[in-house]
Structure 1
Amino acid sequence: MNPETHVLLLDVDGVLVTPPEWFGARLLREHPELTRQFFQTAFYAASTGKSDLRTHLPGFIAALGRTQTADEFLHEWLESENHPNTPLLDDVRQLRAAGWRSYLATNQEAHRTRHLLHEVGLNEVVDGEFASCTVGYRKPDPQYFAEVTRRLGVAPEQIVFWDDNADNVASARAAGWQAHLYIGRGHFGRVMAGQNT
């Protein structure tokens, strides 16, 4: 396979970024009902580009019983998850040096997308992003994969996609992508080595 004719798309959470605990998981443990409602409504809207997450935070913070400003809360959230999977990022750098174009393919709202690119440093290993807030749909919605394919302007089978969520992988395969379930760096390396032959 010629990497110059193929594109590598990578999920973020659980693949390129692997914190010891997700901020949302801690909130769910401490405030299950409030947090579940927040993620199903306000966060969902922000992660599909329909609203700005920051505008939803003051009410949520108050409901949690915290005294932080929206900026303080957002900073705590983003920095707590600033744990890049450095060995995998090194692998992606090598693939790009071999001719692969790479992009983020992730369910994210705009503030974290910018943080991932510029603070976590993922902009150093990708050519761009297809965050759900940019695309307008979330994985595993088939419309997400259709829209990303359209924006890339390549045939679906030219897209190699990695995600740690089986539903997302199944939906990507249904869209014609070469989709793989991410289970670790070793498996990733073996599969991608085969892609380059």
Structure 2
Amino acid sequence: MQIEAVVFDIGNVLIEWNPERYYDRILGKERRQQLFREVDLEGMNEAVDLGAPFRETVYAKAEEAPDWSSEIRLWHDNWIELAKPDIPHSIRLLRKLRAKNVPVFALSNFGIGTFDYAVTQYPVLDEFDRRYISGHLEVIKPDPRIYEILEEDCGIAPERLIFTDDRAENIAMAASRGWQTHLFKGPQGWADRLVAQGLLTEAEAA
């Protein structure tokens, strides 16, 4: 089946997303683990990914947990430190696909404010042919609706899409809809898959 578009997740595919690593560095592992146990930072971040305003959401959570208020605010104030560095090989693959006129889409759980800021730091995020960002769509992976939105908008049959994501549940939902999929564990495996699909040559995928 000929692939008509390649769909990239962003976090841990094009740029690293590792809040734990950042907080380990500034708090130490033990205190970071305590913070993450006592404060629902994942739920806070999910609200942002669903379209809630970034600064207001983080600062409201800080008000709810005064013992951790300064640490929680860092999620906003130093956000780029949670989302770094980029993954150069993945970026090269995206650009090689576009150079061959293969449409490249983003399908990512990402807030409105965080994505707008990330684009200023990582210009590659402005290079997609189409972007499906959860904050704007107000639905997050693996909810089937976000996949349906992409299908409806681009008009490409599911079996002619290939999607890479680092989370198995997101891949499983795409596969259940008939998409071709690749669980991202590193850029070389993704490069090999693109070669196997006939989308890039080995030299282009290096």
Into which bin does the TM-score normalised by the smaller protein fall?
A: 0.7 to 0.9
| Aligned-residue offset at 1:78 | 2.2
What is aligned with 2:7? 9
1:22 maps to 19
The reply to whether residue 61 of structure 1 matches residue 58 of structure 2 is: no
Give aligned-pair identity as a percent. Answer: 21
Unpaired runs of 5+ residues, structure 2, are 25-31, 200-206
CA RMSD of aligned residues (A): 2.7
Contact 2:22/2:82 (CA < 8 Å) preserved in 1?
no
Residues 169 and 181, structure 1, Cα contact 8 Å, conserved in 2: yes
The size of the alignment, in residue pairs, is 190
Residues 1:117 and 2:115 aligned together: no
Taking a change above 3 Å as real, the CA distance of residues 82 and 186 of structure 1, as seen in their structure-2 partners, is closer
Cα pair distance change 1:54/1:24, threshold 3 Å? farther
Greater Cα shift, 166-175 or 123-132 = 123-132
Task: Give the whole-Å Cα distance in 2 for the aligned partners of 1:139 and 1:10.
Answer: 13
Which residue of the other structure, out of 114, 134, 137, is the alignment partner of 1:135? 137
1:71-117 per-residue CA deviation (whole Å, 9 max, x = no partner) reads x7524012442311012101211111111111221111111211222
The 5 Å alignment of 1:167-182 reads: 167-182=169-184
CA distance, structure 2, for counterparts of residue 69 and residue 165 of structure 1: 25
| Whole-Å separation in 1 of the counterparts to 2:35 and 2:75 | 15
Give the Å deviation of 1:140: 0.9
- Tell me how far 1:46 sits from its aligned partner: 2.6
